[in-house]
Amino acid sequence: MEKGLGVLYVVSTPIGNLEDVTLRALRVLKEVDFIACEDTRHSRKLLSHYSISKPMVSYYAPKEAQKAGFILERLKRGERVALITDAGTPLLSDPGWRLVKKAVEAGVPVVPVPGPSSILAALVASGLSICPFAFWGFPPKKEGELKTFLKEVEAYPGVHVFFESPRRVLTTLEVMAQVWGDREAVVAREVTKVHEEFIRGTLSSLKEELAARGEVRGEMVLMVAGGEGRKEPWEEKGKRLLEEGFSLRDVAKILKVLYGTSRRDVYSRMRGALEGS
């Protein structure tokens, strides 16, 4: 590697099964100068399993802003750094974005080393139609804030993906059913681990099943089917005009006069309605 700036590697690590680590990730972890990790004690288990002995720097949320500057200075001196999290891909509800942002702004190369992600692993085995999807991290803890958030994203047509803790999942499922109705949903529990489980049903049935178990355990990914999408006021008018026999071109002209709607928007939204009729 040429002299000058170092390299920041953003490395994905196993989310439960140590065999899921990639060969490239192992090579990078062996070659870097040091490893920035969320919890050094946790990461040491993975590194020891693969006989990797490298200096580690703790990089956890409360100290993220402070440690980002320290790590950046070492990157500027030409050191190679691997950023990892306790499990999965860094930055996804885990520390890292401040460091990546600072590195990018300083011109330091940022290299992704892709691999395990509980989000993607849960989605592909969920049985839901997963494109598109939106990952929201952990939902708000306070019920009022949760309801407000759910109303804001209610119309999103793709799958909603959340992380949730065992002690809060029952409340979250109940509030979601209240705000969104009893949508199709899946809870992925302990993904890639010995007790991996996918619980499929509706928001209410998932709550009933988990509540019946008494104590709920394990890390969870909660996936909920999307809404019907937010419709513009002119869309229903346009649909009726098409049903009455007007051409798409004429509908675009009428809607422009009535609503000021652009021809492009009308064509992109109404063409699907025309083809489906």
d(CA 238, CA 15): 48
Q: What is the pLDDT of residues 204-217, one digit of tens each?
A: 999 999 999 988 99
Whether residues 108 and 123 fall in one domain: no
Whether residues 255 and 158 fall in one domain: no
* Listed residue (123, 198, 183) closest to 153, CA to CA: 183
In-domain check, residue 1: no
In-domain check, residue 160: yes
Which pLDDT does position 2 carry in this prediction? Answer: 41
Whether residues 25 and 99 fall in one domain: yes
Q: 257 is in which domain, residue-wise?
A: 233-276
Across the strands, what pairs with 199?
187
d(CA 239, CA 165): 44
Which pLDDT does position 12 carry in this prediction? Answer: 98
**pTM of this structure:** 0.80
Q: What is the pLDDT of residues 66-122, one digit of tens each?
A: 899 999 999 999 999 999 999 999 999 999 999 999 999 999 999 999 999 999 999
Whether residues 123 and 53 fall in one domain: no
In-domain check, residue 2: no
Contacts 24+ apart (CB under 8 A), 177-180: 177/202, 177/203, 177/204, 177/207, 178/147, 179/147, 179/150, 179/151, 179/154, 180/150, 180/154, 180/224, 180/227
In-domain check, residue 208: yes
Query: Is 274 or 176 the better-scoring residue by pLDDT?
Result: 176
d(CA 235, CA 252): 11
